[in-house]
Structure 1
Amino acid sequence: MSRAPGRAGYRGDMTNPTRWATETGPEHSQWYIDRFRQLAAEGADLAGEARLVDAVVAPRSRILDAGCGTGRVGAALAHRGHRVVGVDADPALVEAARSDHPGPRWLVADLAELDLAGAGEAEPFDAAVLAGNVMAFVAAGTEPTVLARVAAHLRPDGVALVGFGLDRGYRLDHFDSDVAAAGLRLEQRFATWDLRPWREEADFAVSLLRRPPD
């Protein structure tokens, strides 16, 4: 299963730059775009996360791809009939998503300041997906805000699926505290996107969260 870093930030004039902006070089966005285009051309399986999301939502769900990067997860969900809006703070990656995967709506947005109503997307989402280490690349200290902003865009009883590597500086116990503070509830946890059982020594966590019904 792919564990490639999600694109949560960009190299612009940001008051609180993400770790993607501060921990990688200025050429990295194009490298990332080229990498996933090459993997797609080689026939690599890039839809593992999307299969899990598809399995837990109803047909034609409205799905937020938060930290969408080049759009591989959102595009796979759209191919399965879902209505997808993808957001990422890196304009180069959003442009690549628009070019490579027409159909979903791809928007430039900082997850820590997410307010899609202003972009004409006021309808709440049935689900959100944060794949490929998105939570490990948001600006340090904004993790609770990011989860709260995602939760605010879910309908009551909506779900969020979040996966990230546990070797990237964001502790799982801190994540669980941030989840609770955001008003979300942890329902299931796995060690991979293909549902291998959770174990304490795992180096990757996939968490299924739910916004409680009103």
Structure 2
Amino acid sequence: MAQVRPYYVERGLSAAFYDVVTATDASLPGDIDIYAGLAAPGGEVLELGCGTGRITEALALRGYLVTGVDLAPSMLKQAEARRAALPPEAAERIRLLQGDMTDLNLKRSFQAVLCPFFTLAHVPAGTAWKNTFRTMAAHLEPGGMAAVHLPLAEHMRGPPPAREAIVLDEALPGGGRLQLHVLERRFRERIGRFDQVIEYVERDARGAVVRRSAERLTYYVADPVPFAEQAGFVLDRPPIDHGAVGKIFIFKRI
């Protein structure tokens, strides 16, 4: 097998085609409405793991002031390009920062803090989760709301598709295509760790391979409630089923 890179690495295709892949994800529509309901109109929101700015942009267009933080420069570059293309009044509502959600201190507070689309699951469910919930609590006003979107363990237990199977085949501008293959998949139940190696293949309009990259995606699953309670949160409502693959947990800072 070709050399395997981490997800969202510089020059990796998972970052380059993140928006193409997420646009096909049926589990995402509706999440922005949930997040927008956590702060007053025009309120200030902190997004941990803002990625390419899908949620950041949508909330800014609705009038929220959004600070987006992400660890990956490759993702932030795309978020900045998205911000630059917005109407000036919306672009001015966005601040983008590179940072680590497990060790972040912006020395200010927000009405809501978001950790969307499996962002927390990218780090091990232990000290990193504990520190991330502390980050959320430290940046929330009293009574402020935090949202965490996590994957379901049962969705990760299924067998992998055949190696030659194309799990995504999407048209690209200019007539090319993006194709995804799952090369490896493993879920270690005891530690709640899911590993998957996905090969990204970019083809031109004639079908010739332009670029290909095998990249490892790792998720950790666990119950977030004990970590949240330790940081001074209470569960505000029952977890929200979102799509068939995850739940959104809404917490209130006490």
Bin the TM-score by the shorter chain: 0.7 to 0.9
Q: Which residue in the other structure is 2:106 paired with?
A: 116
In percent, how many aligned pairs have the same letter?
29
CA distance in 2: counterparts of 1:205 and 1:39, whole angstroms: 17
Trace 1:1-214 onto structure 2 (pairs within 5 A).
Answer: 24=7, 26=9, 29-37=12-20, 48-102=30-84, 103=91, 104-117=94-107, 122=108, 124-141=109-126, 142-167=128-153, 168-172=219-223, 175-188=224-237, 189-192=239-242, 203-212=245-254
CA distance in 2: counterparts of 1:136 and 1:78, whole angstroms: 25
CA distance in 2: counterparts of 1:25 and 1:149, whole angstroms: 23
Deviation, 1:169, is: 3.0
CA distance in 1: counterparts of 2:47 and 2:30, whole angstroms: 14
CA distance in 2: counterparts of 1:28 and 1:191, whole angstroms: 34
Deviation, 1:37, is: 4.9
Are the equivalent residues in 1 in contact too, given 2:147–2:249 (CA < 8 A)? yes
Higher helix proportion: 1
CA distance in 2: counterparts of 1:45 and 1:78, whole angstroms: 22
Any gaps of 5 or more consecutive residues in structure 1? 1-21, 194-201
Any gaps of 5 or more consecutive residues in structure 2? 85-90, 154-218
Task: Give me the CA root mean square deviation.
Answer: 2.6
Radius of gyration: which is bigger?
2
Cα pair distance change 1:78/1:113, threshold 3 Å: same
Question: One-letter code of the match for 1:170?
Answer: V
Cα pair distance change 1:145/1:28, threshold 3 Å: farther
Question: One-letter code of the match for 2:95?
Answer: R
- Give the TM-score normalised by the residue count of structure 1: 0.72
SS of equivalent residue, structure 1 residue 56? coil
Runs of 4+ deviating beyond 6 Å: none
Cα pair distance change 1:38/1:166, threshold 3 Å: closer
Higher strand proportion: 2
CA distance in 2: counterparts of 1:184 and 1:73, whole angstroms: 23
Count of residue correspondences: 174
Are the equivalent residues in 2 in contact too, given 1:94–1:106 (CA < 8 A)? yes
